[in-house]
Amino acid sequence: MTSGSLTGKTVLITGGAKRVGATVARTLHAAGANLAIHYRQSSREAEALAAELNAVRARSAALVQGELLDVAKLPALVEFALRTFGGLDVLINNASTFYPTPIGEITPQAWDDLLGTNLKVPTFLSQAAAPALRKSRGLIINIVDIHALRPLRDHTVYCTAKAGLHMLTRSLAKELGPEVRVNGIAPGPILWPSGQEENQAKRDKIIERTILKRMGSPEDIARTALFFAADAPYITGQILAVDGGRSV
């Protein structure tokens, strides 16, 4: 994979203003892609990221704000990418909510939010993007989770949502092939949840359960996204665990 391998390609990424999403955006941009970066509330981070990318290559990054749970407005994200860059080659369903829902405390609101952001939105946004991606013979990348298959204590609803996203990835690959490839990335311990930092003893226990005995980095996820986008034309319907061996 070389610099410029995505030149002329357009990527739409949800939740791309910060954390892993921003690292993925930077990595694909460095490979030549134009970026339509969705954000919800992180306007300061989004504007700083777009300015950074456009300073490297003028008019190569554009921002679109929106509440993804309003699924009627999801086609507008696709239309924004098409209007701004003239096409769409890669959709990355990255936006997610994550928080505990212990049994006995699960609310309908938490169910709707976690299932909404992690499963409903990727479903309807992929559906909206499908015609453009078929035209470009493009790619969908879903950010899944190793806990789609390995339950995480006190996170029943989140795990259920990611399990659905795991199957959505495989189902979409079958439905949209041969024109569109669909793959997933299942991170392990990459970043600690924002605002939910674990205590050191719990961090050490999680890291000890990996084969490599260390955390990964956002760059590990970004490099995997670049691999799928630039160097994997014969891979579809697969979910690749990037977890240091945690899921073994």
Give pLDDT tens digits for 7-62. Answer: 999 999 999 999 999 999 999 999 999 999 999 999 999 999 999 999 999 999 99
> How far apart are alpha carbons 97 and 22 in whole angstroms?
16
Q: Give 148's pLDDT tier (boundaries 50, 70, 90).
A: very high
Say if residue 243's pLDDT is above 80.
yes
Contact (Cβ atoms closer than 8 angstroms) between residue 49 and residue 25: yes
Please report the pLDDT score of residue 1 as a whole number: 47
Q: What is the CATH number of domain 10-242?
A: 3.40.50.720
More confident residue, 75 or 1: 75
Backbone angles phi, psi at 178, to 5 degrees: -90, -5
* DSSP-derived secondary structure letter, 49: H
Please report the pLDDT score of residue 200 as a whole number: 79
Catalytic residue among 39, 99, 158, 234: 158
> How far apart are alpha carbons 123 and 108 in whole angstroms?
20
Please report the pLDDT score of residue 199 as a whole number: 73
Sheet of 239-242: strand order equals 61-65, 34-39, 10-13, 90-93, 139-143, 181-187, 239-242
Please report the pLDDT score of residue 201 as a whole number: 82
* DSSP-derived secondary structure letter, 73: G
Give pLDDT tens digits for 96-120. Answer: 999 999 999 999 999 999 999 999 9
Give pLDDT tens digits for 152-207. Answer: 999 999 999 999 999 999 999 999 999 999 999 999 999 987 665 557 788 889 99
Q: What is the pTM of this model?
A: 0.96
Say if residue 122's pLDDT is above 50.
yes
> How far apart are alpha carbons 200 and 208 in whole angstroms?
12
Please report the pLDDT score of residue 84 as a whole number: 98
How many other CB atoms are found less than 10 A from the CB of residue 109?
Answer: 8
Contact (Cβ atoms closer than 8 angstroms) between residue 125 and residue 74: yes
Residue 234 annotated among the catalytic residues of the structure: no
Domain positions in the chain: 10-242
Which tokens hold the place of 157? 């609803």
